[in-house]
Each structure stands twice: as structure tokens, then as C-alpha cells.
Amino acid sequence: MLNVLKVVRHVTPGNSADDPAFILQVANLVEAGAATMEGFALAKLGIDIERFEREGVIVEGERITHTRIESAPDQWIEVELKRCPDPARVEYADPLTGIVETFPAARARKWKLRMDWLREQLIDALGVALKAARGKFAEAEPLLLGDVDIDGHKVAVYFATKMSSERGYAKVDSALRLQPLPVPGIVLTTAAIPFPFAGTNVVIPIAEVLASAPAARAVIDMGRLQAQYRHRQLAARGGASVRLEESADGTSAVLHIPGKSPWRVTSKAKIAVLRRLVDAFASSVPPVETKRLMDGTGCQSPGQLFAKKSPWRDYLVQVTGARAWQLNVPALSDAAPIIDDPVDLAA
């Protein structure tokens, strides 16, 4: 009777820790990062609401009486949600067509999420496949999960969320640049489409390396993890050639230099400067006169354009005895002496 009245509820989190499908849904919730979510939002993320409630991971909240539906592209209208004769379902009438739509009543509620447990459950499940460091769930990201042996190398594996957002990526990237590794590591992330690199480490979505079926709590498919790592390892070190990859909208770009971490910039002025340097390098005449390099940027030198904390001095060097700059490509060190002593982040 007490269970029916919801005075007592048997919470059994952890029963599904060996189920990759469940862990994927946990990852989606951790990435969302909200303490309270509507059932509609949970359903959009592919969350099995009944299962998560049964596991005790989410707790039922207040009922939602109205929601918005899309009447046309980018146009929304509000509709009233009504109870159905079947208490497990609710309905609304489309004001344009009059068609009555029904769906599970669980979607028409707000749900409280146990975010601490979700994060701990995810990290614990990922760590089972690794030589993991336990009891560190509350540490700041990037969180070191442990390491895995790939092709005879000890590869560090980290965990991080929000790797598709500028702020989340910048925090993790900055932290990992301070911990250079002899072998590129792996950052497992809850983000579906993350930035591809963080420091010299490859960033891999958790969804791409989950096992296809439960197997002795090993939710990570090591074969998939190794394949993803090998495929991205060369790119994580900067690839085999100097190149600048620009986004479709022209607002961001990634500079690749062999032996260095890919460097991402987000200003059109910075992109213009890097493009000129890359073009000059491709023409076999690397130096670019400072005035021409900075044309249209509103700055007189790279030092004015790039922030003090930016790693730009590891990628750009001033040509000795000339008012010119060029890319800091290791292969050019003998032919073009530089003023400062650049630090190779991949070393």
C-alpha cells in the first residue's frame, strides 16, 4: 500500500549498469545536464521514462497541462493537454486539423533527475573496461578514467561532457594541453558531435564505442574503441601535412601542423591571418610580411590579435632579421631560425 501511495519507493539504481542501451540513455541525460526535465524532452532524447523511474533514477513531478506543437517550420502554437479514459495516456486536439493525438501520460509531467548518480553510474560503467581509478566521480573534468593498452602503448582515457560547446571544449582543451602525453590519449564524451581533438587527444563520442549487447558489464566494445582510436590518431597529432580546415560558415577553423596539437580559432580576423600563413607555406615561401599579414584585422601584430593565454606563439614565429612571420613547422627549424623557443605541445 505504501508503494502505491508513493510514501516508500524501492530505489534500485545500478541494475542496468551492464546494458549498453541503458548507458547510452544515461549519457544523453548527463550531457543534457538538467536537474528537472519535461517528459516530452526526455522522450526526444530517447529516454525510456518508465524504465528510469523503475530504476529510481528519475522522480515524478508535477503534471504539465499545456505544450507547444510545431504548426509550420519554426512556428509553434500552444495546445491543452487533456486526460484520456485510459489513465496511462493524455491527448490534445490539433487546432488546425482537429486531429486528436494521444501519447503516454509520463510525457506530460516534469521529472526530477538524480544527476550525481547518473554521472557516477556512467563513469563507473566506462571504467569497468579500463584499468580505472575508482572513487573519483566528483573530480573536475576532464576526469581520468584509467588507461587501456592499444598496439602495445598505454593510452590514457578521460571523460568529459559538453564537448560540442565552445565553453566546455575550451576548458577541457586547456586542461589537457597542460598534461602533454607521449602517446595521444582518448577523451570519451557524452556529446554526440564533439570537437574532434582536445590537446593531442582524440575525442570519441561514447555512443560510437558502446557494445551492441550486454556482455559481463563490459559496456565498451574494445574493438570499436581501438578502431576509432587508430583512425583518429594521426589527425590528433596534426596529420601529415600543414592545412587549415575552416567551418562552412567561416566563423571557426582548425590549424594542423605535424607534431603539434590541432589549434582551433573562432575569429574571422584570426582565420584570415592563419590562411595567409598556410597559403604562404604551400607556396614554398613561408614568411609573410607583417603589414600584409595583419591587413584588415585592425591589429598591427599577432601579439595584439591573439590573447595572452592563447598558444599562438607555438604555431607562429617571427623571422629573424625581418618584419615577417611564418608558421612554426618543425621541419623548417634549420632553414628558418626563430626568435623564441617554441614549446611542442605534442612532445
Give the per-residue pLDDT at 71. Answer: 81
Give the per-residue pLDDT at 30. Answer: 93
As a whole number of angstroms, the distance between CA 65 and CA 252 comes to: 42
Q: Is the distance from CB of 318 to CB of 339 less than 8 angstroms?
A: yes
Residue 231 pLDDT grade (very low, low, confident, very high; cuts 50, 70, 90): confident
Give the per-residue pLDDT at 225. Answer: 92
For the chain, percent helix, then strand, then coil, each to nearest 5? Answer: 30, 25, 45
Q: What is the pTM of this model?
A: 0.65
Cis peptide before 184 (omega within 30 of 0): no
Q: Where are the domains of the chain?
A: 19-113, 116-236, 243-332
* Mean per-residue pLDDT, 317-341: 67
Q: 224 to each of 20, 27, 56, 221, how far by Cα in Å?
A: 13, 18, 31, 5
On the CB side of 168, CA atoms within 13 Å amount to: 18
Structure confidence by residue, pLDDT tens digits, 63-121: 999 999 888 888 889 999 999 999 999 999 988 888 999 999 999 999 999 988 888 88
Residue 1 pLDDT grade (very low, low, confident, very high; cuts 50, 70, 90): very low
